[in-house]
Structure 1
């Protein structure tokens, strides 16, 4: 069964390595590209306003071109970051996402790479956000949150 493979940590590391190699290749060759990525694994700094974040789908498209392209970085923990503007007011935020949460790498409307691991919830949930939601959903904590 495919889930026996894609839910293994060793497979996740293989995917991280493949995506890193592809993105580094594209950057070395000055090739702008787009990605679709699982928003559940992303962090935005500063946090996006609710009216903007609510407009994003679970697998949102990010076009990495122009200024945004120049801000792309991948750290040694396999986290990619870039700066982007969101919404009609072009709200600026730094986006951070694990490489394995990238579902597609796209060049000129053609899919260069497709990653099924981006759909595996166990690797793409934000544990801090889950913890906060559990806290918020407890009726005993309503008084603590304003």
Structure 2
């Protein structure tokens, strides 16, 4: 069964290496591309305002072209780039774990598809899970207010 494969850490590591090789190939050949990535695993620095982040889909499209393309780095299992968000073009550096990239797209065609990006155990922040468990316990309601 596919879940037996895509939930394994060793397969996640394999996919990360493949994605890194594909992106390195595109960068070496100066080919702009887009990605869709699992928002749950992304980091924004500075953090996006809630008004902007709430508008992003779980698998959002990021077009890595022009200035954004020139800011791409791939290091230690992560893709980073600078981008502007919202109508005010709020600037932020986006850091994406390679395994959370769902698609690599060129000219509206999918070049690479990654099922690992849909696996919550790899893409959810364990701290947020703990916080949600804490918040959902009725005995903790007085502590949250």
Fold similarity call, TM over 0.5: yes
Whether 1:128 and 2:124 are equivalent positions in the alignment is no
Note the 1:1-146 alignment, pairs <5 A: 1-76=1-76, 78-138=77-137
1: distance between equivalents of 2:47 and 2:139?
Answer: 26
Secondary structure in structure 2 of the residue aligned to 1:83: strand
Q: Give the CA RMSD over aligned residues.
A: 1.6
Secondary structure in 1 matching 2:48: coil
Normalised by the size of structure 1, how large is the TM-score? 0.91
Deviation at 1:92, TM superposition (A): 0.7
Q: Unaligned 5+ residue runs, structure 2?
A: none
The offset of 1:61, in angstroms, is 0.2
Is the 1:43–1:97 contact (alpha carbons within 8 Å) kept by the matching residues of 2? yes
Shift of 1:112: 0.3
Range moving further from structure 2, 130-139 or 66-75: 130-139
Deviations 1:96-130 (A, max 9, x none): 11101000000000100001111111111112333
Gaps of 5+ in 1: none
- How far apart, CA to CA, are the structure 1 residues paired with 2:95 and 2:73? 9
TM-superposition CA deviations, 1:22-72 (whole Å, max 9, x none): 000000000000000000111111111111111001100000011111111
Q: Quick one: structure 1 residues 12 and 84, their matched pair in 2 at CA, closer, same or farther if it must change by over 3 Å?
A: same
Summarize the Cα distance change of 1:137–1:125 in structure 2 as closer, same or farther, 3 Å threshold: same
Normalised to the residue count of structure 2, the TM-score between the two structures is 0.92
